[in-house]
Every structure is written in C-alpha cells, then in structure tokens.
Amino acid sequence: MSINHTPKPRPLSESPDRNTKTRAILSCLRGLFVAAALASTMPPAWGGDIRVGFINPTGPPEFWRQVSATMHAAAAELGIDIDERHTERSFDKAISLARDFVSERPRPNYLIATNDVGVGGEIIKLADAAGVPLILLNNDLDERQWAEYGEPRTKYRQWLGSIVPDHEGGGYGIAEAILIEAVRIKKNRPLKLLALAGEVDTPASTGRIRGLNRAIGVMGKLFGPGSVELIDVRNLDWSEKRAETWMREFLQKGPRIDALWAANDPMALGAMTALREAGYKPGVDVVVGGLNWSQGGVEQVLKGEMIVTHGGHFLLGAWAMVILRDYHDGRDFAEEDVRLQIPMGAFDLSVARRFPEIGKVDWRAVDFTRFSKIRNPAVMRYKFTPDAVLSHLPPTH
C-alpha cells in the first residue's frame, strides 16, 4: 500500500532573502562536521532515561490528542519520561508553563513547544536564558521572525531546531484532489472555490494557504485560464463550531460554490453541516477536502462526502522523541538540517477502507525504535513518513 504525496515545496530552511545561500552552506558544513565525527566515534547504543517537558497547545483537541498519543508511545520505547502540560491555546498560559518548566530543579533535559498563537519566540528566549534545549513542533517561527531570531543554534544556541510537517504540500494536496474531482463532476466554469484557513498568525495556516495558491496556479495551466475562481480565503479559529457558524452566514449571501478547501478536518466538518442545511449534497454538488486524518474526516471519506483528508502529521509527536533520543545519545539531527520538514500523506477512499478506524489505533503497537539512527546504524536519513508507519500496521477493519 502506498500513499501519494504532493510535490515537495521549498524546504523551510530556505527563504527568499539574500542569506539563503549562506544558510545552506552553513547547514552543509555542519552536516559534514557531524558526519566526520560519527565516522570516527561510534556513539553508545543507548543512554539513560531523559525527561522532556511538552507544552501542548491543546487545540484542535483531536489532533493534539493524537500528537500526544504517538509521543507517549515512542517515549515509552525510547527511555523518555514526558511531562505534558496544556495551554488551552492561551498565549499567556503557554508563557507561564514555559517559565514553570525552566524554573524547576532539576530542569527537564529538553523542552518541546510550538509557535501556535505566535508564542514560539518568547519560549525560545526563556529556554535559552535558562539553558534548556528546545525544539519547536508543528509550527516553526514564520519568515518575519527569522531576522530577529536567526537560525537555530546561532543567536539562541539552546534552540536546537524544529520538526514540522510540509504544510505547503498538505495545502497543495487538498486543493489538487478537490479540483481534479470538481473538474470531473462539474460542467460549469469557472469552478467556484471557497477556502477556510486557520488563524492568521499560525505558520501552519499560512503554509497551507501557500499550497492552495500554488495548486490553483497549476490547475489553471492544466485546465485552462479562468477555470478556477477563488471566492474567498477566510481565516477562522480551526474549530468545527466556528466554521459551521461562519458558513451559515456565508451561504445566506455568498455565491454558490463547487468546492470547499479546509485547512483542517474540524472546519471541513463544521462547514459541511451548514452546507447540508442549505441543500448542498457534499460529494455530489460540492467537493470537500480537509486535513488531519481525524476519525470524523475518515468517516466522511468513506461516505463519499469528503474526497480526502490529508495529514499523518500527528506522528510528529513520535518523530520528536526519536530525534531527541538520538541527539541525547550523540547523533545530531543537524547532520540533515536543524529544520526538519516531514511529508504528509493523502487519506483517500482506498486508504480509508484499509484503516477506517485510524483514530482508534493504539500507537504502542508501532516499534518507533526502528526509526532511530542510534539503534539502526544502517539508517542514514530519517524516514519519517506516514507510509512508513501505515505499512507496518494491520488494517483496522
């Protein structure tokens, strides 16, 4: 079984400014240095237990529960103790939790946080001042912040790096799937496309919107100029309830739409409730795509009301444990990049039929030690893909 990935966009470690080449050269030199060190000294097969503080942004709840589940499953196998605390998506609470972690005695060996609600920069400063190594998960700093904070391990040396999904690729994949299906079943042109994005200050949302726009450009070349009209890109709060409320308001005065792009499954599901109330038949006269691999999203794919749910990025919880275990034991992920970008996968009908209850998987059944470079010297590059996990899971039906 194979999941089709969208084309990989520009890596996060690149930016359009004049320092791109410099960063690339520094990253390459860092990788060569680490590789040389590894060639001369074989690190220990396993180190002692380590403690990781995890500042969980909490929402959307189902997604972050899955991140937590994969993180704890991998941690149990890798000798890692996780102290997890929840922010309820509050900027102030996230700062308070970070201060609590770095003030403890003993401090955690590592801290994991996210740039959700724009809090990443302040947590970087707190962790660096306290000497606690930090990794950003799922949401890296955005490009506007790079000038202030620099690359990881430069101005703030305790900021080790980030591990994030290919948000742009995910946004592209949703748009590609729904537009190809809309072209197949709809005769009118231009196709009327509506997009529901996440909060405007969240890098995950802005990255997915970039993917959406890129796909519209590609589809325009494929199906002809003017074949797709983007009606609106509406930034919401990622929640099902808000998407349902806003969609009702839109349907009272907005134009009829042919396709709905949603940056996550909860917004797709909320919007679909409002669409049904207005007389739409999702999957028949409006094509819907979301992202998260949520149980609700998978069920809608099985019903034919959603064409795809992109995702698998809740596995970031497990991947973070693997790279921290390896880093702690002497194998630095910087040999690949200090900003690791992980592909997502498309959960379409064929995959949903194999894993109709993906939301109920016990991730402790997966041997995440297989992905460790320390445990598996033959692994030269991290193979962090949804395929790599699903191919080792028995079907859930």
pLDDT in tens, 210-226: 999 999 999 989 999 89
- Tell me the CA end-to-end span of the chain in Å, nearest whole number: 15
| List of residues 6+ apart from 18 with CB closer than 8 A | none
Closest residue by Cα to residue 343 from 394, 381, 396, 307: 381
For 209, the 3-state DSSP assignment is: helix
Closest residue by Cα to residue 136 from 330, 341, 328, 335: 341
- pLDDT score of 9: 36
The residue written with tokens 């079984």 in the block is: 1
For 335, the 3-state DSSP assignment is: helix
- pLDDT score of 169: 97
The class level of CATH for 20-165+313-344+365-390 reads alpha beta
- pLDDT score of 257: 98
Write the DSSP symbol of residue 219.
Answer: H
- pLDDT score of 144: 84
- pLDDT score of 46: 47
Distance CA 72, CA 81 (A): 8
For 239-303, the DSSP string reads -HHHHHHHHHHHHHHSPP-SEEEESSHHHHHHHHHHHHHTT--BTTTBEEEEES--HHHHHHHHH
Domain positions in the chain: 20-165+313-344+365-390, 168-311
Q: Determine phi and psi for 220, rounding to 5 degrees.
A: -60, -40
User: Do the domains 20-165+313-344+365-390 and 168-311 sit in the same CATH topology, yes or no?
Assistant: yes
For 124-190, the DSSP string reads HHHHHHHT--EEEES----HHHHHHH-STTSSSTTEEEEEEE-HHHHHHHHHHHHHHHHHHH---SS
Return the CATH fold of 168-311.
Answer: Rossmann fold (3.40.50)
In the chain, pLDDT over 70 holds for what percent of residues?
87
For 10, the 3-state DSSP assignment is: coil
What is the identity of the amino acid at 98? A
Q: Which residues pair with 137 in a beta bridge?
A: 163
Q: What is the pLDDT of residues 69-94, one digit of tens each?
A: 999 999 999 999 999 999 998 999 99
The DSSP H or E segment spanning 308 is strand 308-311
Q: What is the pLDDT of residues 328-340, one digit of tens each?
A: 999 999 999 999 9
- The one-digit pLDDT tens for each residue of the chain (397 residues) are 333 433 333 333 333 343 444 444 444 444 444 443 333 333 444 455 899 999 999 988 999 999 999 999 999 999 999 999 999 989 999 999 999 999 999 999 999 999 998 999 999 999 999 999 999 999 999 888 888 999 999 999 999 999 999 999 999 999 999 999 999 999 999 999 999 999 988 899 999 999 999 999 999 899 998 999 999 999 999 999 999 999 999 999 999 999 999 999 999 999 999 999 999 999 999 999 999 999 999 999 999 999 999 999 999 999 999 999 999 999 999 999 999 999 999 999 999 999 999 988 999 989 999 999 999 999 999 999 999 999 888 776 5
- pLDDT score of 88: 92
- pLDDT score of 359: 86
Angle at alpha carbon of residue 82, lines to 132 and 73, rounded to 5°: 135
